[in-house]
């Protein structure tokens, strides 16, 4: 039952109408130095991005952003920094995916077909490499062992590259959120964990989809706040200007 609910929420997430500021194919062009940093220091970047996604307020932290069964049961409230460090080093893949889901649910961002293909290829290649390794261990053939080693090496390279691009994509989106591309930054939403399996759908976002208007009714897709990255250029995108002055932004102690 839990698995079916999870699949239902993944499908409903496709109703999101907003797009990432840059897709995975253009992240290297969008911020080349940060992409290299994410490639060579992946766990450290994952730590910084999750903390930034929480507006530097670690009292909001929950293991894997509330998307895993273990979330909220690991003593995060007592030592969130240590728990986050443990998460990014021991469960790096989950830490990147959780930050991604957190941003998608907060800003109603869909995953494009191109991004899905890239992520799906990475996962399938890992599975094929694992199968070849098992077959090589059972058969004992040197040719199959060499093939499994090549596949494993290729799988690791693709995994590291895609994760680096995903983390750069998250960073660029938070740059947009914080107004580094020109528009006025948005106010900090209240602490909550979105799209968890024990919460009703659709999740309540931390800000209204369209300023000055009530949120959409249940079952209706949220309105778009930006334009596709193809036209106009990503630099021309921006969140809609609020009809009221944002309250207490940025919060005390928050550093961009």
Q: Can you list the pairs that 109-113 forms with residues at least 24 positions away whose Cβ atoms lie under 8 Å? A: 109/16, 109/18, 109/19, 109/20, 109/173, 110/13, 110/14, 110/15, 110/16, 110/17, 110/18, 110/19, 111/13, 111/14, 112/19, 112/20, 112/23
Write down the pLDDT at residue 195.
Answer: 47
Per-residue pLDDT of the chain (256 residues; tens, 9 = 90+): 445 666 676 677 777 889 999 989 899 999 999 999 999 999 999 999 999 999 999 999 999 888 887 787 788 888 999 999 999 999 999 999 999 999 998 899 988 888 889 999 999 999 998 898 888 888 877 888 888 889 999 999 999 999 999 999 999 999 999 888 765 555 566 665 444 444 444 444 444 444 444 445 444 554 444 444 444 444 444 555 544 445 555 556 656 5
Q: Give the span between the Cα atoms of 75 and 246, in whole angstroms.
A: 33
Q: Three-state SS for 18?
A: strand
Neighbours of 188 (CB within 10 A): 20
What was the pLDDT predicted at 189? Answer: 64
pLDDT at position 64: 87
69 backbone dihedrals φ, ψ, rounded to 5° = -60, -30
Instruction: Please count the helices (runs of H) and the strands (runs of E) in the chain.
Output: 8, 0
pLDDT score, position 184: 52
Q: Looking at residue 187, what is its pLDDT?
A: 57
């Amino acid at each position: 039952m839990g698995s079916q609910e999870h699949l239902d929420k993944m499908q409903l997430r496709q109703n999101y109408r907003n797009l990432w500021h840059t897709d995975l194919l253009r992240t290297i062009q969008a911020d080349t130095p940060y992409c290299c940093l994410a490639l060579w220091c992946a766990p450290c970047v994952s730590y910084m991005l999750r903390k930034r996604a929480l507006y530097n307020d670690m009292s909001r932290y929950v293991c894997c952003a509330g998307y895993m069964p273990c979330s909220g049961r690991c003593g995060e409230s007592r030592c969130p920094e240590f728990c986050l460090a443990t998460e990014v080093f021991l469960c790096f893949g989950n830490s990147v995916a959780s930050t991604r889901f957190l941003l998608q649910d907060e800003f109603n961002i869909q995953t494009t077909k191109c991004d899905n293909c890239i992520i799906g290829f990475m996962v399938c290649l890992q599975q094929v490499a694992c199968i070849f390794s098992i077959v090589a261990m059972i058969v004992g053939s040197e040719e199959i062992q060499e093939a499994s080693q090549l596949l494993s090496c290729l799988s690791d390279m693709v995994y590291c590259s895609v994760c680096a691009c995903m983390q750069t994509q998250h960073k660029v989106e938070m740059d947009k959120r914080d107004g580094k591309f020109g528009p006025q930054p948005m106010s900090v939403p209240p602490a909550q964990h979105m799209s968890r399996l024990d919460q009703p759908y659709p999740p309540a976002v931390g800000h209204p989809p369209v300023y000055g208007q009530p949120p959409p009714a249940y079952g209706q897709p949220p309105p778009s706040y930006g334009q596709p990255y193809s036209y106009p250029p990503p630099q021309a995108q921006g969140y809609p200007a609020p009809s009221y002055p944002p309250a207490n932004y940025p919060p005390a102690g928050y550093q961009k």
